[in-house]
Amino acid sequence: MGVPIFFVLSGFLLSRPLFLASARGRPAPRTAAYLWRRALRILPVYWVVVTAALFLLPANRGAGPGTWLRQLGLVQTYGSGGFAEGLSHTWSLGTEVAFYLVLPFAGAALVRLARSRAERPARILVALACASVLGLVWLVWIWTAHPFPGSAADLWLPSYTGWFAAGMTLGLLSVSDPTWRPVRLAHDLGSSPGTCWALAGALFWIATSTVAGPVGLYEPTAGQAVVKNLLYLGIGGFLVLPLVFGDQRQGPVRRLLASPPMRFLGEISYGLFLVHVVVLTGAYAAFGWVPFTGNLVLVLIGTWLVSVLLAALVYGTIERPLSRWRDLVSRRPGPLGSNDTTSAATATSASS
């Protein structure tokens, strides 16, 4: 469930400056500055973790240049070769990077599509919906025709177009005319976090049942892949919706998410994501355990605590110092000011 939440958040946080600039008649942020910041945020820590995994995990001993290049270049899902031990979770990062590269062009096309109706951009909503449908068509094609043998084509960006589009829809509505019906509906739903999260919980219950396909790491049918994709889209959308719309100072959960401890976890969350599977895999190798066995509580708590400590170390020694280089590539005066984002979105922005 972490991946759909991450993709919805990314779609919201990264597309919102484009839509906000259009709504206010300002120039869009410079693509070069945007890509520089994304690269600085993602690549240095990723390369450190990949190097550690390839050097330290026993199963990666003897990894050749091809393995190193695939992992360091975030192209593990393209072509044969697959993932190195402890790095299987980085498929989502490769998909995320593909979204980073596509967004400036897709965003510019969507903004042009709205033309003079920037405050009520119904055409953009239609385009995002169409893109989501095309993503489902891609999934059906992948799971029926298997057109790319040896590649993990089901993990490529088109498979998750709907998840990113859901976040982009939230970003678009958050800067649109507040009297527009879709915006009013979003505010009404967002004003009831309990309703949104209950819906997400119900969808999650369905997604973990046999209704949505096989339970476990088994290949689904095309129909099952589409059903689960839609269920996860709904879960991610309903979880994030109240953190964008509604009074962000209302309710204990929102206050918790905006608290200093949660903001700290948001700051280190990228490092936590990267190291936790390396820690888990290393622990299983060290203790001679078979994957997916052992005491759940012990494995969960032990992995989480060690990963948080390592993530905090990575943040303090690599991520935070590198953030001083964010403005090395100049950008136009940004349209997204400190008062333009919702408090909950600001609290989670570090994770994207």
pLDDT digits (tens, 9 = 90+) for 171-185: 999 999 999 999 999
Q: pLDDT for 269-305, tens place per residue?
A: 999 999 999 999 999 998 888 888 888 899 999 999 9
The kind and range of the H/E element at 269 are: helix 260-287
Question: In terms of Cα–Cα distance, which of 87, 217, 105 is closest to 157?
Answer: 105
pLDDT at 294: 83
Residue 166 CA to residue 172 CA, distance in Å, equals: 10
For residues 103 and 10, give the distance between their C-alpha atoms in angstroms, rounded to a whole number.
11
Q: What residue type is 125 in one-letter code?
A: L
Please choose, from the candidates 214, 212, 216, 211, the residue with its C-alpha nearest in 3D space to the C-alpha of residue 229: 212
DSSP-assigned letter for residue 247: -
pLDDT at 332: 60
Tell me phi and psi for residue 116, to 5 degrees.
-85, -5
Q: List strand residue ranges (DSSP E) for the chain, in order.
A: none
The structure tokens listed for 298 are: 């012990």
Say what the pLDDT of residue 331 is. Answer: 66
Contact present, 157 and 95 (Cβ < 8 Å): yes
Instruction: Please tell me the predicted confidence (pLDDT) of residue 180.
Output: 92
| For the chain, domain boundaries | 2-251
CA–CA gap between residue 339 and residue 93 (Å, rounded): 29
The list of the chain residues with pLDDT below 70 reads: 116-119, 331-352
CB of 263 closer than 8 Å to CB of 347: yes
pLDDT value of position 173: 95
3-class secondary structure for 61-130? CCCCHHHHHHHHCCCCCCCCCCCCCCCHHHHHHHHHHHHHHHHHHHHHHHHHHHCCCCCCCHHHHHHHHH
How far, CA to CA in Å, does 150 sit from each of 112, 141, 219, 308?
Answer: 38, 16, 15, 35
Which residues are CB-neighbours of 110 under 8 A, at least 6 positions away?
18, 121, 124, 127, 128, 168
The answer to whether 133 and 226 are in contact (CB under 8 A) is no
pTM: 0.90
**In the block, residue with structure tokens 């005491």:** 295
Rounded (10°) angle between helices 122-145 and 91-114: 140
- Torsion angle, alpha carbons of 306, 310, 312, 315, to 10: -160
Cβ burial, residue 135 (10 Å; 0-12/13-18/19+):
buried
CB 17, CB 33: distance < 8 Å: no
81: left (phi over 0), alpha (psi -120 to 50) or beta: left
